[in-house]
Amino acid sequence: MDLELSDDQFELRDNIRSVLEGACPPSVVRAVYEGQGTSAELWQQMVELYWPALGVAEDAGGLGMGFVEVGLLAEELGRAAAPGPLLAMVTQYIPMVEAAGAADPLAAAIAGETIGALAYAENGRWEPAAVAASAEGSGDAWSVTGTKGAVLGGANADVFAVVARTAEGLGVFLVERSDAAVDVPALLDPGLELADLEFAAAPATVLLAPGPDAEAVIDAVASQASVAMALHVIGACRRIFEVTLDYAKVREQYDRVIGSFQALKHRFAEMYLAVERANAVGYYAALAIAEDAPDRAEAVHVAKAAAGDCQRLLAQDGLQLHGGIGYTWENDLHFLLKRAKSGDVLCGGRGFHRARLAALLGLGEAA
């Protein structure tokens, strides 16, 4: 057993990081926040680098990397608080389309010709039981009715992969943007491009035929998305940690740097532990998924719940230890704080995953 990243994995991470430092500095994030720019150019660059295809099998036209590598990309996107659809594409829509074996939509997605988003959660619940949206039809003629909330990457998506209920169980259906009512509210973190969707007998094609097999795929894709979101949150948190630590080494009060006060040193030790703890279980979960380990279900909930613990502390102390400068719009810190907090509530929050974990451990119902 080796829980350290391999040399190749470190190299990939460093590559992604340096690309993002060039292509997605805080000024790019700020432009999106301030309505002075869009994520479109960044997205084009990522498409040219084949990043949407990172985890797609080689024979399906992808780069054939494993889920740990997908996790590295998700983490680095969090570190950059990157705006745009890549996170949604790589960790939600493309895995669903690939799992469904839908060659054409997959090819269009990895070529950047279509932007797609996975529409799963309703009323903030990231779980099968919450799916009330329904689908009716047969063969290639279906229609979907219902609502979906906080759809990641939905704001700029051309097509939605909608999880909907039928008499045979859950299935996944493709609905064109023009057939849905798309509402994009003003958001704390506009870079996530969340959208609320409404479907009124929207024409749809079947992506995953409803039934137990589809439900297993939905569960697997949702689990992967949760772990990827955990790592995304952790990426933002690690960056918060780094900039806060750097600040504590230069900001002077009472004629000494604030990082020399023991009260703060111990808080940095706690923050460091929270980041490393979440990171270690986050990548363990990614590995458990990549290798289909027997404890993979527990590992998924552990990962997202630990990311939740991590963002609680890092967003709080990261802001607090900056003092007044951290409370300003001018400082870039808030992009990271907002990404960490937003990521926690997506794909099931800290409390949701702790309760699911407790249920798996035989400690009562997950309801």
Partner 1 sequence: MKLRFDDSVEAFRAEFLEWLAVNRPPAEAIEADPPRSSAYIPEWAASFTRRMFDDGWLVPGWPPERGGRNAGPIETLVYLEELNKANVPRTTNPQGLGIIAPSLLDYGTEEQIENYAMPLLRGETSACLGMSEPDAGSDLANLKTRAVRDGDNFIINGQKVWTSGANFADFCFLFCRTDPDAPKHKGISIVLMPMDTPGVTVRPLTEIISPEYPDLNEVFLDDVVLPVSNLVGELNNGWAMANGSLAHERSMVWLMGVMGMESSMNELLAEAPALLASLSAAEQATAADDIAGLYIDTVASRCLGYRGFARYVKTGSAPEQALMKMYSTEIRRDLLQIAAELRGPAALPTGLSRHGAVGSLDAYFTTFGGTISAGSSEIQRNIVAERVLGLPRG
**Residues in the site for partner 1, rule: CB under 8 A?**
1-6, 9, 68, 245, 248-249, 256-257, 259-260, 262, 264-266, 268-270, 272-273, 276-278, 280-281, 283-284, 287-288, 290-291, 293, 298-299, 302, 305-306, 309, 354-355, 357-358, 361-364
Q: How far is it, in rounded angstroms, from Cα 246 to Cα 241?
A: 9
- For the bound state, the minimum distance from the C-beta of residue 157 to partner 1, rounded and expressed in Å, comes to 32
Q: Which is nearer to partner 1, 345 or 358 (CB)?
A: 358
CB of 342 to partner 1, least distance (A): 22
**Choice between 218 and 248, CB closer to partner 1:** 248
The least CB distance from residue 103 to partner 1, in Å, is: 30
What would the two tokens of residue 339 be?
């990404």
Q: What is the DSSP letter of 64?
A: -
b/e 135-169 (16+ beta carbons within 10 angstroms → b): beeeeeebbbbbbbbbbbbbbbbebbbbbbbbeee
Least Å distance between CB 23 and partner 1? 27
Other beta carbons within 10 angstroms of residue 70's beta carbon come to 24
Write down the residue that tokens 């829980």 correspond to: 3
56 vs 281 by CB, closer to partner 1? 281
Question: In angstroms, what is the minimal distance from the CB of 65 to partner 1?
Answer: 13
Q: What six digits make up the tokens of 242?
A: 């780094």
DSSP 295: T
Q: Would you say 279 or 342 has its CB closer to partner 1?
A: 279
Nearer to partner 1, 9 or 331 (CB): 9
Of residues 278, 243, 354, 223, the one with CA closest to residue 75: 278
